[in-house]
Structure 1
Amino acid sequence: MGDWSFLGRLLENAQEHSTVIGKVWLTVLFIFRILVLGAAAEEVWGDEQSDFTCNTQQPGCENVCYDEAFPISHIRFWVLQIIFVSTPTLIYLGHVLHIVRMEEKRREKEEEQRKASRHQEERDHLYRNGGGGGKKEKPPIRDEHGKIRIRGALLRTYVFNIIFKTLFEVGFILGQYFLYGFQLSPLYKCGRWPCPNTVDCFISRPTEKTIFIIFMLVVACVSLLLNLLEIYHLGWKKVKQGVSNEFAPDRMALPLARDEAVESNMI
């Protein structure tokens, strides 16, 4: 299995811009999934195909029975699960970095404008106080502690991040159930061609592998629960506001426009 250090560094950066529950979720992902998968689970499944034996000498029978018993290796399945549930967080991190970069560019531009018009102090004073028809300054993206404020478009991205993580968790839990179930039997009966008849195949270390399957299932359920708690933590009202606030100004502008038209007609 490949090196997880790059993904770990990205998730560590995302942790700085997450809620408290989001930080717990990332900790669970990194410690109980990535580290356990790399340190222990891969060793348990290292002999998965080599020690899968069937009581037949028919060429090709053992291979097709292994393919039927394990359409995809548990290790590769869990690696895909980690990648999929991490991707929404990485997209959110990309949005955060984009906002930070845009803020830096805006500050650099304002600094250049102040240097270029330093001899026009009076005009600069009016501009800073909102006079002279200047642009209205945007609210700061950071709070008093220097952390990124999760609101507006960033809040929507964060909400969709949680929603997609939840959907991926549910999808992979169901996928694991339909592919293998949640326990491995030491005996697997196979009647697939080219086997001459129904043959008995034996799986190595089924009890130990079942323990790992249950452990990874519990971790997935804990991650799913944390996602649901985070949605509750954000609050349904805040979630609704984050998803729909970009359309609110247009809806508010219509009544104001009608009121102004009525007043002009009265005059």
Structure 2
Amino acid sequence: MDWKFLEGLLSGVNKYSTAFGRIWLAVVFVFRVLIFVVAAERVWSDDQGHFDCNTRQPGCTNNCYDHYFPISHIRLWALQLIFITCPSFMVVLHVAYRGERERKYKAKHGDDTCLYDNPGQKHGGLWWTYLISLFLKTVFELTFLYLLHYVYNSFKLPRKVQCDVAPCPNLVDCYVARPTEKTVFTYFMVGTSVVCVVINICEILYLIASRIVNLKRRGSSYTSSRKIHKDECKDVTKQTYHATC
């Protein structure tokens, strides 16, 4: 998989992210993608070849491996990384859409005019797009954590499993290659996934809190401006009344 292409796309997302979003992106690349590419793939590269069962019955070892490992950890983590990064592209596409509208608006009304003060500023529809992307990333993270726990029944890999699926002649013992090392990597990837979920939740709360504060400020400024306008109208009315008298 070309992870450099994914890195290039997400670097554009970083320009429109909050501080929490930049921390999330750093955690994803340093503690997930980098560990995945440098170490995790090599650890699981020989998992099926070194899955040994105490029988020479043809097909027994392969079926037992497929029974206990229906999907590789590596492929599941690769899918997880793809799914959790895709919602961020919604923000980039929305900003690109705003940029195109801005270009057409200037072409029609002149270069001195503008439709947006800053196309990448998170207000209006872009704020909702950013918030929805955070919810989707959090849902995908939790879904894959559940799938990992559900498929393997736990995050810890056993040293030995017992298998009696066909065509095994009886209950046979099978041994997982390097279970301790794989368990360490599994806990590490699960831990970083949980950290990303916490960061996403913090960013969601931050966005909502910032939105509420901005709305209150706008409401207070609007109320004060209306009060000033009413006072000016009263002064004008009094002056007109005295002048008439």
TM-score interval, smaller chain = 0.7 to 0.9
**Residue in 2 that maps onto 1:209:** 182
Q: Structure 1 residue 140: deviation in Å?
A: 1.6
Q: Distance in 2 between matches of 1:68 and 1:107?
A: 61
Cα gap change, 1:158 to 1:226, in 2 (>3 Å): same
Q: Distance in 1 between matches of 2:90 and 2:204?
A: 18
Q: Distance in 2 between matches of 1:47 and 1:167?
A: 31
What's the secondary structure of 1:188's corresponding residue? Answer: strand
Q: Distance in 2 between matches of 1:70 and 1:17?
A: 40
Q: Aligned Cα RMSD in Å?
A: 1.9
**Residue in 2 that maps onto 1:99:** 98
Per mean C-alpha deviation after superposition, the further-off stretch among 27-36 and 96-105 is 96-105
1:56-135 equivalences under 5 Å are 56-111=55-110
TM-score (norm 2): 0.82
Q: Distance in 2 between matches of 1:33 and 1:212?
A: 10
Checking the alignment, whether the CA contact within 8 Å between 2:59 and 2:167 is kept in structure 1 is yes
1:174-213 equivalences under 5 Å are 174-180=146-152, 181-213=154-186
**Residue in 2 that maps onto 1:8:** 7
**Residue in 2 that maps onto 1:225:** 198
Q: Distance in 2 between matches of 1:109 and 1:183?
A: 62
The yes-or-no answer on 1:170 pairing with 2:142 is yes
Q: Structure 1 residue 138: deviation in Å?
A: 4.1
What percent of counterpart residues are identical?
41
Unaligned runs of 5+ in 1: 115-127, 129-136, 143-147, 243-267
Per mean C-alpha deviation after superposition, the further-off stretch among 31-40 and 208-217 is 31-40
For residues 167-226 of structure 1, the C-alpha deviation after alignment (integer angstroms, 9 at most, x for no partner) is: 001101111111111111110111111111111001111000000000000000000000
Q: Structure 1 residue 95: deviation in Å?
A: 1.2
Q: Distance in 2 between matches of 1:237 and 1:93?
A: 21
**Residue in 2 that maps onto 1:248:** none
Q: Distance in 2 between matches of 1:199 and 1:27?
A: 45
Cα gap change, 1:87 to 1:139, in 2 (>3 Å): closer
Q: Distance in 2 between matches of 1:108 and 1:31?
A: 43
Q: Distance in 2 between matches of 1:199 and 1:149?
A: 62
Unaligned runs of 5+ in 2: 216-245
Q: Structure 1 residue 101: deviation in Å?
A: 2.2
What's the secondary structure of 2:162's corresponding residue? Answer: strand
Q: Which amino acid aligns with 2:51?
A: F
Q: Which amino acid aligns with 1:234?
A: L
Structure 1 runs of 4+ aligned residues shifted over 4 Å read: none
Q: Distance in 2 between matches of 1:98 and 1:69?
A: 47
What's the secondary structure of 1:215's corresponding residue? Answer: helix
TM-score (norm 1): 0.76
The yes-or-no answer on 1:140 pairing with 2:117 is yes
